[in-house]
Amino acid sequence: MGGASQRLRKHQEDEAGSMAETEALPKLREDFRRQNKSVFILGVSGETGRVLLKEILEQSLFSKVTVIGRRKLTFDEEAYKNVNQEVVDFEKLDDYASAFQGHDVGFCCLGTTKAKAGAEGFVRVDRDYVLKSAELAKAGGCKHFNLLSSKGADKSSSFFYLQVKGEVEGRVEELKFDRYSIFRPGVLLCDRQESRPTEWLVRKFFGSLPASWASGHSVPVATVCRAMLNNAVRPSDKQKEVLDNTAIHSLGKAKGS
C-alpha cells in the first residue's frame, strides 16, 4: 500500500507541476520573444529536427531561425519563407565557421544509427560532427546549447551506442556553455519519413503496451520538441541540466496557449 500511495502522490505532484507549467508558459514565451534571440538547428532532415523547426516557427519564439545541414531543403509552406539555410560539409566544418556565428541558442538533433552508417559512420556523425558543431557554436557566441541524446547515455556503458552518446555529452560539457541542456528520451515514437524497419517494429510494440509502462521507456517526437522549447523559454541559473524521459513527458505535456 505504501508504494501505491507514493506513486499516486508523485502522479498528483507531476500533474500539479504540469498545470503550473502550462499556466506560466504564455508569459514565459512572451518574455522570451521580446529578447529577439536567434537560433540554429542541426539535423532538420531527421524527424526530430523537422518537428522542432515546425514548432519553433509556429510559436514564433526567435527573431532569426537558421538551419544548418549538408544539403538545402525544400519548404513549400509560407511559414518557412524566412528560414535561413546554411549548407555545410561536415567533414570540413572549420571552413564553415561563419554558419555558426551570431546565434544565441542552438539545438543539435544530429544522429544516425550503426545499422545505417556502420560503426565508424555512427561515431563520425553522433560524436565528431556533434562535438565540432558545438565547438564552432561556442566560438560563435552561442549561449544555450541543447543536445538531443538518449535514455541510458553513459560513457562507461557496455553498449556501444550509449557509450558514444555519453562520451559526446561529456565532451560538449567541457566547452562550458552558459547553459547546456541534455535531453535523454526513450524510444522516439514518430512516423519517420525514411524507412527503418526495426524502429517501426519497436514503435508498434510500444504502441501496444499500457500507457503508464510505455511512457517510461518511449516518448512521441512532438512531446520531445515541445519539452525542448518549453525548457528554453524558462530562465535557469544551471550551467548544465539533464532531462530524462519522465521530465521530457512532463514538460512536453505543458502546451500553454
Q: 183, 243 in Cβ contact below 8 A?
A: yes
* Separation of alpha carbons 5 and 16, rounded Å: 16
What's at 149, amino acid-wise? S
Secondary structure of residue 74 in the 3-state scheme: coil
Q: Which residues pair with 66 in a beta bridge?
A: 40, 84
- Extract the C-alpha cell encoding 194: 525514411
Residue with cell 534571440: 37
Active site residues: 161, 165
Orientation of helix 245-253 relative to helix 221-233, angle to 10°: 80
Q: What are phi and psi of 152, to 5 degrees?
A: 85, 5
C-alpha cell of residue 171: 565532451
Q: Which three cell numbers stand for residue 117?
A: 552508417
What residues are paired with 68 via a beta bridge?
A: 42, 86
Cα separation, 20 vs 18, whole angstroms: 5
